[in-house]
Structure 1
Amino acid sequence: MPTNDTLSFTELERRLRAVPDGPAGILNTPPLYRIANMVGGAGLIVALIPLVLVRLIPAAPWMITMVQIGFSVMVVAWLPVYVRQLWTLVASMWRWRQEQAEQLDHDRPEFEAIMTWLCQQPTDALTECQRMVALAHRQLVAKLGLLAGGLDRLGVLPALVAAYLFLRNVGDILDMPTWELLIAAFLILLWLIIVAATLMRIRLQFYEALLSEALTAKAQSGAVAQ
């Protein structure tokens, strides 16, 4: 069974997660806002259910009420989250030089400790882990390309297009064309998948960078010793 000193991705992730956030912690979503995100997502689902049911059964007044309640919950829950993210973005852009310097000063000793641990690992183990990360990254990129093509470069645009399709029919939401409903639902799902895959790519690239740096440091230390 691996110990805390044995190289494994589980142990590497544990050490990375143990690093304090520092000044960048302001970008993290507080627990209350995470709950608001979930409530807003539930409101969106409630609002979408009548749009599907109306294709199967005759429209009824309760469907409109359900859509109105769902969208109201979504807006009320997501509006504070959006305002906070916008404020955080503006504040970070305003002070980016100072915050970047403070974050680097904070991260340097933390990651030096992680690099020291990595450099204590056998070179063969580091190389094998690096190969596994590179392989996993290539597979993830291939899967994302098969699913989304180049849409991952569009950022939040698919979600904005979906929101536009819903808002342009807000006056008579139950009569929203089926093709628009399908496109909007697909774009929202696609955007969520792209976000998750992008976060996974960033983490894999981070793993690979740390392992490459550790291998380089071990090679340099070995050359100096000779």
Structure 2
Amino acid sequence: MSTLTIQVLNNSGNSKIYYLFYQPFSAQFTPMACVTQKSTTITNNKAATFMVEMPSAVVCGTSPNIPLAPGVNVNIEESTIITPPQSVSIGVQGNDPYFPSIDAEATGGNWAKISTTRYDSNPDAHLFCGLGVVQASGRVTPSCVWEIEPISSYPVPDPPQPLVFYISSDPNLDIGTITTAKDAVPAVAVDFTGTGGTFCLVTQLSNGSFQVNPPSDDTKLGRRE
């Protein structure tokens, strides 16, 4: 799939920092979205440009004494890039999850299958796994996470990412912050589903709300940061 581009034009009258997070896939367990990208400070009439890559890694970590929920900032402790379809096993040493092996095998039509073995850990460690996005810098940032339990399987559908993304200027966010469109205020959805477009211009207006142009391949509307 081509890289998607979301450009955010700041017409709010004030300097802003913009954040990008992804709509998680649907599952019986509950994937929670994390902020994947953060702009620099964008002055009025300037624009932030987000190059949106699809998840290509699995991640894991812990959230000591803090259950995963909107507002919690997660730090991934380990990540590994996969070539789907693959099965990924999560091992746990003490309270620390890790990836001991990745197997290229059928996953029942899924993009990946993440499985845990039997382990004993402190429930207050709040072990989690999820999907990650490899940024241009090579850094892996989480796109969604969920808490894990022993002897469990977490199938990730193919494709692993709906073509729905969110832009927010909520100053309480940062990279790795778990959030939703309801909790990040203000926020707006950018939906590329079925459009064939790879570019979308979003404008923040003087009242703080966002205006979303229909996705297209026309980047002439864009303004550079």
- Which range, TM-score by smaller chain? under 0.3
TM-score, scaled relative to structure 1: 0.21
The structure with the largest helix share of the pair is 1
The structure with the largest strand share of the pair is 2
TM-score, scaled relative to structure 2: 0.21
Task: Compare relative contact order (CA 8 Å, sep 6+) and give the higher one, 1 or 2.
Answer: 2
